[in-house]
């Protein structure tokens, strides 16, 4: 930067720093997905993922950035690899934002934004529960969406939560951001096992929080939907009875169901539902008039897919073990 004085540059350098993380390891999937193990000092190693989409006619690459909010996690969801890693600490707002800036740098869109920011969407679906670190997460998202910073549209940023009910309303009230609920079960009994946080905030409380979320945002965009994420576990939660109960639970909402075929990780006790079971489940949800998609696994071969993230300096070994 040469359009300001040397003295001003020195003053900025003395008072501010720009840390987009130190790369400890980088893996690239055969499908183009990239995963970084980034260090933000000490033991603060976190994984960040970029899932590219097809380039536009002008060669402009877009994609989804998955950022982490914590080093490790306290929720211990039984199907999630991150849940096997104890929580070391929360990430700061700058460290969360630094993950996004690292991806922008990698795809050639930082430090100078040549066009519009390349990520099509940003989701807090990496390591950790974002709503257990709300101060930092909300600050980072506010910077991402600020016209004076990256200027991402709020609806392009999604907060994915396992259901910290008291904080869900703030996502729409303060951020106007998108909401994804990691539901994964249709009864409290099963969800207590899959997502232990359910013992504190059961399904009914989470759904009430969803209503509160919509009360602050639906008047702005009547097409705004809540995404309900549902991992498909063979013989556990993938029956037609489960599908019908799911539709009864969420038919009150403008909703989108995202079926996630289980992504294996070393030591997991679960298997992915069969393709026939996934298709039957999908058809049942669609039959109820609810939008439903099956997420295509991306980055599975490098342990970058949903539920596979875990801070490890030996990511290649972990990937080869599945």
How, if at all, do strands 34-39 and 22-28 pair?
Answer: antiparallel
C-alpha of 218 from chain center: 22
- Do residues 69 and 133 make contact, with C-beta atoms less than 8 angstroms apart? yes
pLDDT tens column, 23-40: 999 988 888 889 899 998
Better pLDDT: 11 or 232? 232
pLDDT in tens, 166-175: 999 999 999 9
How many Å apart are CA 230 and CA 227, to the nearest integer? 10
Cis amide linkage into residue 111, ω under 30° from 0: yes
SS3 at position 258: strand
The question of whether 80 is a catalytic residue gets the answer no
Poorest-pLDDT segment among 59-63, 190-194, 234-238: 59-63
- Pair 29, 294: CB distance under 8 Å: no
For 127-186, what is each residue's pLDDT tens digit?
899 999 999 999 999 999 999 988 999 999 999 999 999 999 999 999 999 999 999 999
Domain ranges of the chain: 19-320
Q: Which one is catalytic: 47, 95, 229, 284? A: 47
Q: Please enumerate in sequence order all residues whose Cβ is within 8 A of that of 231, keeping only pairs 6 or more positions apart, or say none.
A: 79, 184, 194, 237, 260, 261, 262, 306, 307
Pick the CATH number of 19-320 from 3.30.930.10, 2.60.120.560, 3.90.1150.10, 3.20.20.70: 3.20.20.70
Q: Which of 73, 80, 210, 306 is catalytic?
A: 306
pTM: 0.86
Q: Is 47 a catalytic residue?
A: yes
């Amino acid at each position: 930067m040469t359009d300001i004085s040397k003295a001003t540059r020195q003053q900025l350098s003395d008072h501010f720093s720009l840390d987009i993380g130190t790369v400890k390891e980088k893996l690239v999937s055969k499908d183009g997905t990239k995963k970084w193990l980034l260090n933000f000092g000490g033991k603060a190693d976190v994984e960040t993922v970029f899932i590219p989409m097809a380039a536009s006619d002008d060669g402009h690459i877009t994609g989804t950035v998955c950022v982490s909010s914590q080093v490790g996690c306290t929720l211990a969801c039984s199907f999630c690899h991150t849940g096997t890693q104890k929580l070391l600490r929360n990430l700061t707002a700058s460290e969360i934002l630094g993950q996004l800036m690292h991806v922008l740098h990698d795809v050639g869109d930082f430090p100078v934004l040549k066009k519009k920011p390349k990520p099509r969407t940003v989701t807090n679906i990496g390591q950790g529960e974002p709503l257990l670190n709300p101060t930092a997460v909300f600050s980072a998202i506010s910077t991402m969406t600020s016209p004076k910073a990256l200027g991402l549209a709020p609806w392009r940023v999604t907060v994915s939560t396992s259901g910290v009910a008291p904080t869900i309303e703030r996502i729409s009230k303060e951020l106007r951001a998108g909401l994804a609920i990691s539901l994964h079960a249709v009864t409290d009994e099963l969800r207590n096992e899959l997502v232990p946080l359910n013992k504190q905030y059961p399904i009914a409380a989470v759904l009430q929080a969803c209503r509160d979320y919509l009360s602050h945002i639906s008047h702005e965009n009547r097409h705004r939907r809540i995404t309900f994420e549902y991992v498909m576990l063979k013989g556990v939660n993938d029956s037609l009875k489960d599908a019908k109960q799911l539709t009864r639970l969420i038919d009150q909402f403008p909703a989108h169901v995202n079926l996630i075929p289980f992504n294996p990780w070393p030591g997991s006790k679960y298997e992915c539902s069969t393709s026939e079971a996934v298709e039957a489940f999908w058809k049942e949800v669609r039959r109820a008039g609810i939008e439903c998609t099956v997420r295509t696994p991306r980055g599975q071969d490098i342990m970058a897919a949903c539920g596979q993230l875990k801070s490890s300096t030996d990511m290649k070994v972990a990937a080869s073990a599945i």
